[in-house]
Each structure stands twice: as structure tokens, then as C-alpha cells.
Amino acid sequence: MNFSELGLCDELSQAVADLGYTAPTPIQEKSIPYVLMGRDILGSAQTGTGKTASFTLPMIEILASGRAKARLPRSLILAPTRELAAQVADSFEKFSTYHKLSMALLIGERGKVLLTDVKILVIDEADRMLDMGFIPDVERIVGLLPPLRQTLFFSATLSDDIKKLSDKFVSNPKVIEVAPPASTADTVAQHLTWTSPKGKREALRSLLNSEDVKNAVIFCNRKRDISTLVTSLKRHNFSAVALHGDMTQSARLEALQKFKDGEVPLMIASDVAARGLDIAGLSHVFNFDVPGNAEDYVHRIGRTGRAGKSGRAFTIAAGDDDRKYVASIEKLIGKSIPLVDGDTPVAEAKDAPAKSKGKAAKARADKSGADDEKTTTAANSNEKKADGERGGRGRGRGRKAEAHPGELPPPPDCKGDTLHDTGHVPAFLLR
């Protein structure tokens, strides 16, 4: 199927083709026809599936065929973060190349805007707005709009709270879901490593050195930890910028532009960037802190592996609280996150933080090719024990390493057994 078959005009189809898109994604294929019909939408799709285009494209089609009154906007899109609002604005600019439509990006606007002629309302990332406490503001704004309008309500998940909230804004909506709630994309290879609280920075640096990192977003839970981590990384000759809600708008835009332009390969961010950040070809995501909210994990790692491309996500865990958070994440996504340096399930890893130094030392010895007899004996003993627990599936010398239980397959562009095949081999995968 192509975009013209969805009911879009030739100009829009050409604009999409100019950008290199050949076929609509599932959320676009299911949403666009109903938006063009004028139906209210209650939509859910995991991050990185093309949700923004699923409403911007048909909106341009509708607005281009109508007539505007002087200085009266005919559509309004509400987004929870500045980055997401800027991303939506960028989509409108790209897709409306062959149309004469004007657009305004309002961030922290204190002026007056007349909303009496708004025909289309979009509430994007409604679940994030609920988490951030923005719903009273949304309700106040919606109260200023005409009651007869088309409303497109999108959320990453359709929980009971979200469905109850949507009843305030949509009327007889077409419900569209293209993925299980809070599922993770198959294009993202997920991994987990345990360390001690004081060893997290060293663990991060080790991963950055062992992985072929083109560019990466590193997430922290607390804003005050971001500047500390940026300083630490710079001290070890890594180039990094910060992005969080306490920065001025100009500073945030400057940092984001440097990252997008490839001038700085690492961006240390808070969850303010987890929903609205769209970087083409982002190779890695690192959770320096395990998110306390399991759904935030899905949105964080969804920054990579977008638009069918492959990506890698690593989570650094330490301490009792992280064990609870990891268990909650694995319950939500319905699978275990493979360990970087061992096969012990999280449920059995009560002593994992305390043992992390020994595991790290073993990993470094393996990497440098050390062949100490005692180490080999201990490793063989552990192999036999693991074989018994996994029904005899061993990984002896000379045999290709198999995936951990529940591990995702390698991303498409990482398949192969040699450096020549893959372009890079992570240090922890003995392929």
C-alpha cells in the first residue's frame, strides 16, 4: 500500500515520497482514513511507529481543502514537552511543502490566542500529560474550543485511567491499537548489567568503550545528577551535553542541535526528553538509572530502533530498589532483559550488586584473552552448573554463543559472526 491509497492528495503523496517514505506504517494505515472521514480517534501505538505523521498528514489534507478566517487558527495540537512540540512542527513543515499553510509553534506562550474557529484538536502523548500533571491545563484549554470539532486523542498506552480521561474529550471515537500496551520494538536489542552504586560511572564508561556508539542518549532519573555525569564523562575524554527541564529554552535548543548535528555524540537527559526526542539513526540508549516507572523504560529505549532501524539499549542496575524496578519492567514488557555479563535471572540476583566487581573482573580477563588455569576451572564449573539449570545447553570452547533465555535476536544490521560481517562486535558477545 502507498500513501495515495489512503486518500491523500497527490501533493502530499509527493511530499512524503520526497522524504524517502515508501509505505505507511500500521498506525498511519489505520488512522489516516478515519481522520479524513472526520471521525474522532482514540489511538495507541508504541513510540517510534510514525504516530506523528498519522495525524499531521490527514490534517494538512483537510486544512488545505478548507478556507481560513483571518488570524483564526483552525487546528490545535497539544503536546507535553517542548521537544515533542518542536518535532510535530517540523513534521508539518516537511509534509506541507506543496501547500500554502501557515503554522505557529507556541512554547510557554503568554499572549492571547483566539480558538473559536478550531476545527481539529490533537492531544498527543496523553499518558505523559497525565503523569506530568498537565490535565487541568488541557481541560481549561479545551473549554475554550468550539464543542463541535474533531478530536484526535493519542497515548502510548490505553490504560483504564487513559480511557476514562479520553471520555472527556472524544465522542464516539474509532479506537486504534497497533501494538500491545507498553511493548518494546523488536528492532531494539535490550541488555542489563549489574554493578554497585559507586561503580555505575565506570560501568557506563566500559559500555561506551566496548560498544560501537555512533550517538547515544543516556538517561538519569534526577536532574541534579545530569550535570555531575556530564562533568565525569568530559573528565574521561567523552564529549557530552545535558538536556533537562531546568535549562533555559535557548540552552536546550543549542544542546539538542549540537547532538542532532553530530557535533556531540552523547546527550545526558532526564525523562523530559524521552517522549519528544526523535533523532534519526540513534544507535544506543543507556539507562544510567533504572526508571522507577516501568512505562518510562519503554519510552526511553524507544528513542533507538526507530523507523525499522536497529538499535541497542543498556540498563545499569545497582541496589535493592533497582531489583524491584527491573522486575516491574520485565513484568510490563513480558520478557526478561538479558544480562550483559551472566545468565542469572533477575529474580535470583539478590547478591548481584555485591558480586559485580568479580563479574567485571572476569569480563575484563576474558576480553584481554587471559587464560589463567584457576579462572578457566571456575568458568567451566559455572558452565556445567548453568547447563544443568538450562537443560544441558552449554557454551563450550569453539561453539557459537547462544542467546540468553528470552533475549531478542540481534538487530538486522548486527547479524554475523565476525568483525568483517558485522562491522563491530560488542565485547561481551563471544561471536
Calculate the CA dihedral of residues 339, 343, 349, 351 and round it to 10 degrees: -100
Residue 176: φ, ψ to 5°: -125, 120
Residue where the block lists cell 537443560: 391
Average pLDDT over residues 175-186: 76
- pLDDT surpassing 80 at residue 126: yes
The pLDDT of residue 110 is 67
Q: Report yes or no: 88 and 124 within 8 Å, Cβ to Cβ.
A: yes
Where on the phi/psi map is residue 125: left (φ > 0), alpha (ψ -120 to 50), or beta?
left
CA of 338: how far to CAs of 7, 189, 191, 195, in Å? 43, 9, 5, 15
For residues 144-161, average pLDDT: 90
Mean residue pLDDT across the chain: 79
Q: Is the model's pLDDT at 115 over the cut of 80?
A: yes
Look at residue 339 and give its three-state secondary structure: strand
CA distances in angstroms from 93 to 26, 85, 268, 304, listed in the order given: 23, 13, 28, 23
Beta bridge partners of 152: 41, 122
Helical H segments across 96-248, by residue range: 126-132, 135-142, 160-166, 200-210, 223-235
| Contact of 126 with 165, CB cutoff 8 Å | yes
Query: Dihedral (C-alpha) 227, 229, 231, 232: value to the nearest 10 degrees?
Result: 160
Residues β-bridged to residue 154: 43
Q: What is the pLDDT of residues 55-67, one digit of tens each?
A: 999 999 999 988 7
When mean pLDDT is compared over 105-119, 131-145, 191-205, 237-251, the highest value belongs to 191-205
SS3 352: helix
Q: How confident is the model at residue 23, as a pLDDT?
A: 87
The predicted pLDDT at position 178 comes to: 83
Output the nine-digit C-alpha cell for 60: 494538512
Residue 146 to residue 117: CA distance in whole angstroms: 7
Question: Per 3-state DSSP, what percentage of the chain is helix, strand, and coil (rounded to 5)?
Answer: 45, 10, 45
Q: With bands split at pLDDT 50, 70 and 90, how would you rate the model's confidence at 276?
A: low
Q: Are 332 and 294 in contact (CB under 8 A)?
A: yes
What's the pLDDT at 158?
82
Q: Is the pLDDT of residue 192 over 60?
A: yes
Is a pLDDT exceeding 50 seen at residue 386? no
**Residue 307 neighbours by CB distance under 10 Å:** 14
Residue 25's alpha-carbon distances to 14, 197, 273, in angstroms, are 17, 41, 23
Cα 96 to Cα 12: distance, rounded to the nearest angstrom? 7
Ramachandran sector of residue 391 (left: φ over 0; alpha: ψ -120 to 50; beta: rest): left
What band does 208 get if pLDDT is binned at 50, 70 and 90? Answer: very high
Domains and their CATH numbers in the chain: 3-177 (3.40.50.300), 188-368+397-422 (3.40.50.300)
Output the DSSP codes for 305-336. Answer: S-TT--EEEEEEE-SHHHHHHHHHHHHHHTSP
pLDDT for 341 equals: 62
Q: Are 236 and 229 in contact (CB under 8 A)?
A: no
pLDDT at 273: 59
Query: What confidence score (pLDDT) does residue 236 get?
Result: 96
Q: What integer is the mean pLDDT of 410-431?
A: 41
* Tally of CA atoms within 13 A in the half-sphere of 400 that contains its CB: 6
Q: Given this model, what pLDDT does residue 394 score?
A: 35
Indicate the burial class of 167 (C-beta count within 10 angstroms; 0-12, 13-18, 19 or more).
exposed
Does residue 397 register a pLDDT over 50? Answer: no
Could you identify the residue written with the cell 584457576? 374
DSSP, collapsed to helix, strand or coil, labels residue 103 as coil
pLDDT of residue 61: 94
Q: Which of 364, 358, 356 is nearest to 197 (CA)?
A: 356
What's at 237, amino acid-wise?
A: N
Residue bearing the bigger pLDDT, 121 or 248: 121
Is the Cα dihedral 126, 128, 130, 136 positive or negative?
negative
- pLDDT higher than threshold 60 for residue 197: yes
